[in-house]
Amino acid sequence: MGSQGSQGQVVLGVDSSTQSTKVLAVDVASGKVLARGQAPHTVSTGAGRETDPEVWWNALLTALGQLGEYAGRAAAISVGGQQHGLVVLDAAGRPLRRALLWNDVRSAPQAAALVERYGAEHWAGRFGSVPGASFTVAKWQWLRENEPKAADDAKAVRLPHDFLTERLSGAAVTDRGDASGTGWWSSETGGYDTALLDEIGLDPAQLPAVLGPGEAAGQVRAGVPALRTGALVGSGTGDNAAAALGLGLTPGQAVLSLGTSGTVYTVARQRPTDPSGTVAGFAAADGDWLPLACTLNCTLAVDKIAALLRLDREAVEPGGSLALLPFLDGERTPNLPYASGLLTGLRHETTAGQVLQGAYDGAVFALLGALDEVLAVDGPGAPASSDEPLLLIGGGARGAAWLQTVRRLSGRPVQVPEAEELVALGAAAQAAALLSPGESATAIARRWGAAAGPVHSALERDGGVLERLGAALSLVSGG
């Protein structure tokens, strides 16, 4: 990956995340990043987590405007976006209210009611995942119960990346990767579950068409600033599926992503069907599957603890006897939506730096707890090994304290890809595949070498910390 200009074909990859929109202009032949753009989002705090979808669109236009000549030269564009969010639109495509974001846990009662109504086994077998508060189906139920007029007035229901793709192209489409996080797209049948939609008061006509891998949504419509009218628009996908594309991920490789949320995932050939709900059985954007476990509390939670202690985020200290579970927003994995943070084991000699290290430990502990289950989806013959380096990505991957904590608690070697903005890069690979018939987005990303980076050797697992955190989790979960 590089940063020098090129006169070859150019594609654009978009990462519309919780906090900001980022856009990369990428040379198709080499994978060199030619230009970058970025603009922040406004996220509400308090009772819920919401953002006006127009914020995403305006941020995208701002970021595109920072690309200079490359925006107008781009032959194709694709959007990777935060998963699960609920966007409800009127007949003209205008938002009826702010979007409910993935990390809005007000829909936890609705998720629990859905699971109780149909049973976890049914959800896992039919949809690949047992819905939690993050899933779109739970948010739709929350809207119906709490704001029935907005639900009744909705003429279209979209995911965040769908909204931007439609604004770019005019096409009401999504992809199987992002659709698999709604709770109403069946991984068993590969389509929307009409019986469930009828039960929850949704007409299939309100939902976008689901495109397959490599299919184009359409072309950039006239009047979109900075972009060339007629440039191809990819189907787009969810952020984790886009990052998997950006890495050129293959079965047996595990990714640990440290961002606003924490995720661990791999690419699998077998369809996941975990009734415990630990492993979400998402579809991969390349046609395979993307078993994934996600935590709500990751970098933001640790940064909050650092701010409370008035410490720099790297000011950790070893030792001590404490255990800290930073479940500041409830938690998704483990499924404890009503939990709060827990700190145990304080002593007179405990230092602030040790408390901060405890926050790192607790966040990583929650992710590693699901790692083996994610890698086991393809069965005992899967090409997964404890010797295979964990691919550490996301904003936290650049932090020394995060890297050291993952090494110390996983007992595995860790590889940190040098490429940045992997969601946007995966979206760019998806866009590039539209220009390269016969070459998949995954193959393009592997040709670009985006996963290359230093490998840090394994450390002996810190059994004492893991034991203390396990005991603390039993207190929170009642186990």
Catalytic residues: 239
* Residue 276 to residue 203: CA distance in whole angstroms: 29
Reduce the secondary structure of 3-38 to three states and give it as a string.
Answer: CCCCCCCEEEEEEECCCEEEEEEEECCCCCEEEEEE
Max intra-chain CA distance, the chain = 67
* Residue 180 to residue 290: CA distance in whole angstroms: 10
Cβ neighbours around 457 below 10 Å, total: 9
Asked if 293 and 272 count as a contact pair (C-beta separation under 8 A), the reply is no
Give the tokens for residue 427: 């979206």
Asked if 461 and 409 count as a contact pair (C-beta separation under 8 A), the reply is yes
Helix/strand/coil percent split, the chain, to 5: 35, 20, 45
Residue 412, CA atoms < 13 Å, CB-side half-sphere: 21
* Residue 337 to residue 252: CA distance in whole angstroms: 30
Find, among 321, 381, 383, 377, the residue nearest to 354 by Cα.
321
User: How many angstroms separate the Cα of 448 from the Cα of each of 83, 246, 339, 401, 425?
Assistant: 25, 9, 42, 29, 10
* Residue 404 to residue 390: CA distance in whole angstroms: 13
Q: Is the peptide bond before 334 cis (omega within 30 degrees of 0)?
A: yes
- Would you call 456 helix, strand, or coil by DSSP? strand
